[in-house]
């Protein structure tokens, strides 16, 4: 009997040692990943510090860049972005005529998340509207690009008397049928946030970052110097990746609820969209939006992709000027 029990005891001890060894290896790997991720985040923030001021809005830190003089104009960036997308060239040009306010959206750049679930379009609009007020902009012109256009639409439809004019640029606005990208399905899941996001933060190579930037511009190319200015490593911080993933994962359901409110928009609206935009399709979004907002005007940019505010800047500025004129601000 003793000879039978002895091999079993040996096997149990061996299995226990293997499990302990495996657990120690896992803990060591996790520690290495977290330390490396933290180092890269610190490096990103040192290389791309806040461009403007941090203001407290009901206990939430909001990063804002303010430049120029004239009618108040708020610029709202898209998914995975930050203020630097607008300050690269558009905001300085507009600052010759307007008092420009550029915000980091919640969870991105240096603005804190509104909540742990990603911050809805409505929550973001309410936060940025309050931030604008604290900066003295009671009723600004609002321009939003891509996802930022969705926030601008939420602002104008939920608070119609708080927007002087509205300019959605390559803006998400209407429901679509394509499934959520696999990357966002993974990074918005609980296990993706816990395991995959830190790995990306810690180990994604610079070449992949540069490729991701280039991928949003076709058929145009990214302007020279944009990749160096935009601060993409800020978006690879764990907190920003999780916030961005949640926002993208929740976007369709939020648009489905928001689309019924566009008729409430009273601000003069100038919509700008490229005909070659394969990220936010013209026919799915802006060609419907122009009929949903009373008095809206749509400017189609032939052959232009998803980034008109950078590659067709004169057209975007002209649309802002037209909207301002319609609002009696020029």
Q: What is the pLDDT of residues 103-119, one digit of tens each?
A: 999 999 999 999 876 68
Q: What contacts 28, CB < 8 A, 6 or more positions away?
A: none
Q: What contacts 152, CB < 8 A, 6 or more positions away?
A: 76, 125, 142, 143, 144, 166, 167, 168, 171
Supply 261's token pair.
Answer: 């409110």
Matching residue, tokens 């020029």:
330
Query: Residue 314 pLDDT > 90, yes or no?
Result: yes
* Residue 285 confidence (pLDDT): 98
* Residue 323 confidence (pLDDT): 98
Is the separation of the CB atoms in 146 and 78 below 8 Å?
Answer: yes
* Residue 258 confidence (pLDDT): 97
CA-to-CA distance for 131 and 112, rounded, in angstroms?
A: 13
- What is the mean predicted confidence (pLDDT) over 264-279? 98
Q: How confident is the model at residue 6 (pLDDT cuts 50, 70, 90)?
A: low
Query: Residue 8 pLDDT > 70, yes or no?
Result: no
Q: How confident is the model at residue 23 (pLDDT cuts 50, 70, 90)?
A: low
All structural domains of the chain with their residue ranges: 53-326
CA atoms within 13 A of residue 261's CA, in its CB half-sphere: 18
Is the separation of the CB atoms in 164 and 94 below 8 Å?
Answer: no
* Residue 86 confidence (pLDDT): 98
* pTM listed for this prediction: 0.91
- What is the mean predicted confidence (pLDDT) over 172-192? 95
- Nearest Cα neighbor of 94 from 73, 65, 121 is 73
Q: How confident is the model at residue 27 (pLDDT cuts 50, 70, 90)?
A: low
Beta strands in the chain (DSSP E): 53-57, 60-67, 72-76, 99-103, 141-145, 165-169, 270-274, 297-301
Architecture of the domain whose range is 53-326: 3-Layer(aba) Sandwich (3.40)
* Residue 4 confidence (pLDDT): 54
* Residue 209 confidence (pLDDT): 86
Average per-residue pLDDT for the chain: 92
Kindly report, residue by residue over 39-65, the tens digit of the pLDDT. 999 999 999 999 999 999 999 999 999
* Residue 1 confidence (pLDDT): 47
Q: Is 72 helix (H, G, I), strand (E, B) or coil?
A: strand
CA-to-CA distance for 1 and 289, rounded, in angstroms?
A: 82
């Amino acid at each position: 009997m003793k000879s039978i029990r002895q091999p079993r005891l040996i096997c149990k001890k061996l299995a226990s040692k293997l499990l302990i060894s495996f657990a120690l290896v896992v803990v060591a790997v996790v520690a290495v990943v977290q330390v490396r991720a933290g180092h890269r985040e610190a490096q990103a923030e040192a290389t791309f510090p806040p461009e403007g001021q941090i203001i407290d809005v009901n206990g939430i830190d909001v990063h804002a860049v303010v430049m120029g003089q004239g009618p108040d104009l708020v610029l709202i960036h898209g998914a995975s972005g930050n203020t630097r997308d607008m300050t690269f060239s558009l905001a300085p040009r507009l600052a010759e005529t307007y008092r420009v306010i550029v915000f980091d959206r919640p969870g991105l750049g240096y603005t804190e998340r509104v909540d742990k679930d990603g911050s809805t379009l409505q929550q973001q609009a309410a936060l940025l509207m309050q931030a604008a007020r604290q900066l003295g902009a009671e009723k600004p012109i609002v321009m939003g690009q891509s996802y930022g256009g969705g926030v601008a639409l939420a602002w104008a439809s939920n608070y119609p008397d708080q927007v002087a004019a509205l300019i959605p640029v390559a803006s998400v606005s209407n429901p679509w049928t394509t499934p959520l990208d696999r990357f966002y399905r993974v990074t918005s899941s609980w296990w993706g946030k816990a395991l995959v996001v830190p790995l990306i933060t810690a180990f994604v190579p610079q070449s992949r970052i540069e490729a991701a930037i280039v991928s949003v511009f076709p058929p145009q190319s990214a302007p020279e110097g944009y990749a160096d200015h935009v601060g993409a490593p800020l978006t690879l911080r764990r907190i920003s990746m999780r916030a961005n993933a949640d926002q993208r994962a929740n976007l369709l359901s939020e648009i489905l609820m928001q689309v019924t409110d566009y008729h409430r928009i009273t601000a003069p609206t100038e919509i700008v969209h490229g005909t070659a935009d394969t990220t936010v399709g013209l026919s799915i979004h802006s060609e419907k939006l122009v009929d949903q907002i009373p008095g809206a005007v749509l400017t189609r940019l032939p052959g232009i992709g998803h980034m008109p505010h950078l590659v067709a800047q004169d057209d975007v500025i002209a649309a802002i000027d037209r909207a301002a004129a319609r609002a009696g601000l020029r």
